[in-house]
Amino acid sequence: MAIIFSKKCEYGIQGVLYLALKGIGTVTPVEEIAEHLQIPREFISKILQELTSKKIIGSKKGKNGGFFLAKSPAKIKLYDIVIAIDGDAIFGQCVLGFPNCSGDYPCPVHDNWSKLIKETYAMLNAQTLDQFKDKVSLKIQNLGAKKKNVKVRPAN
Amino acid sequence: MAIIFSKKCEYGIQGVLYLALKGIGTVTPVEEIAEHLQIPREFISKILQELTSKKIIGSKKGKNGGFFLAKSPAKIKLYDIVIAIDGDAIFGQCVLGFPNCSGDYPCPVHDNWSKLIKETYAMLNAQTLDQFKDKVSLKIQNLGAKKKNVKVRPAN
DNA sequence: TTTTAATCAGACAATATTATCTGATTATAA
DNA sequence: TTATAATCAGATAATATTGTCTGATTAAAA
């Protein structure tokens, strides 16, 4: 199975996107987020806690508490979320797993792959949450229906 | 942890690359491959067996047996190996994990990501094993030394 | 002030991936 | 023909990721 981002990371991005939809400062309980995005409640809860500790979002404890966007969507990059959850290994590791792949001793696809990774990096850095709020709303509306009985990872 | 290809896939590519280096038809025991590439012997053995059953390489049983390139390096694409081991999920799945992401209901990064994936697809399809035999030889020479005590996956 | 509803912390469970082990089968060489 | 050295098949073990549970803490509302 080849993947790009971990499930944690995917869910994290989806969750923050959802908070962005609700607008800056609007407090949303994890129950609603989990329900809407069809993500296991305790799992997304843990992820949002992690993003809270890394200051990407904020949280409010106690009754009527929940999570919220702590800063302007224009100031939150996809890159920030990816780095917070998955780290930066994707940007520095040899795609073929050669332990000492580098510019001096490149693996066969080093140059080609470097180009793709640079483009990915640029895209994640350029995309801030404010840039696609309308797209997300479409998306969110359309969730839920199809996600039932989906296996954690599709068969290989 | 974000990854692109599974360890199995990385090892598979490395192994086939090594066979390509030895030249078409040259039979190489898995012991030598594992030693040279610093991959667990039983693991790379299983992977090469899988690639054998999928006709990407050939094998010879019994004494003096081993694995070998069954066809011209020019006819083996990186794409073939990736598909054989990791499947094609990477080319069709939403990078943010939205279950019903598509052209009609795109996730926020759908268009950007599609472009990157198409480039990756094109690269894996364009790269055949004959195109970088010299680079690999450099690489292979330089292996082994640094791989000791490397964790299976780097810390997050 | 008490009840309620939320995050938070940490342990635990399930699943997937990675790695290892045992022995059967095969074919070469002695 | 027998010993040897290899793939092959299937079970098992170790680790990482994903998902769940329990209870503590917190803060608002009754």
Residue B147, pLDDT score: 44
Residue type, B79: Y
Residue A48 lies in a domain: yes
Q: A65: which nucleotide lies closest, measuring CA to C1'? A: C6
Residue B82 to residues A49, A74, B47, B70, Cα–Cα distance (Å): 36, 37, 12, 18
Residues 6+ apart with CB under 8 A from B99: A38, A143, A146, A147, A150
- For residue A62, give both structure tokens: 């106690």
- How many domains are there within chain A? 1
Looking at strand C, which nucleotides approach a protein CB closer than 7 A?
4-10, 15-22, 25-29
Interface check for A105 against chain B (CB to CB < 8 A): the answer is: yes
Residue B1 lies in a domain: no
Residue A133 lies in a domain: yes
Residue A152 lies in a domain: no
Residue B138, pLDDT score: 53
Residue A26, pLDDT score: 96
Pick from B153, B132, B147, B152: which is nearest to B35 by CA?
A: B147
In order along its 156 residues, chain A shows pLDDT tens digits of: 677 899 999 999 999 999 998 999 999 999 999 999 999 999 999 999 999 999 999 999 999 999 999 999 999 999 999 999 999 988 988 999 888 888 888 888 888 889 989 999 999 999 999 887 666 665 555 554 344 333 333 322
Residue A136, pLDDT score: 63
Residue A2 lies in a domain: no
Residue A148 lies in a domain: no
A87, A100, A123 member nearest B112 (Cβ) = A123
Residue type, A131: Q
Residue B144 lies in a domain: no
Quick one: DSSP state of residue B97?
-
CATH, residue A134? 1.10.10.10
Q: Are A67 and A12 in contact (CB under 8 A)?
A: no
Positions of E strands within B18-155: 58-60, 66-68
Residue range(s) defining the domain that contains residue A40: 7-141
Residue B153 lies in a domain: no
Q: Measured in angstroms, what separates residue A153's CA from nucleotide C10's C1'?
A: 27
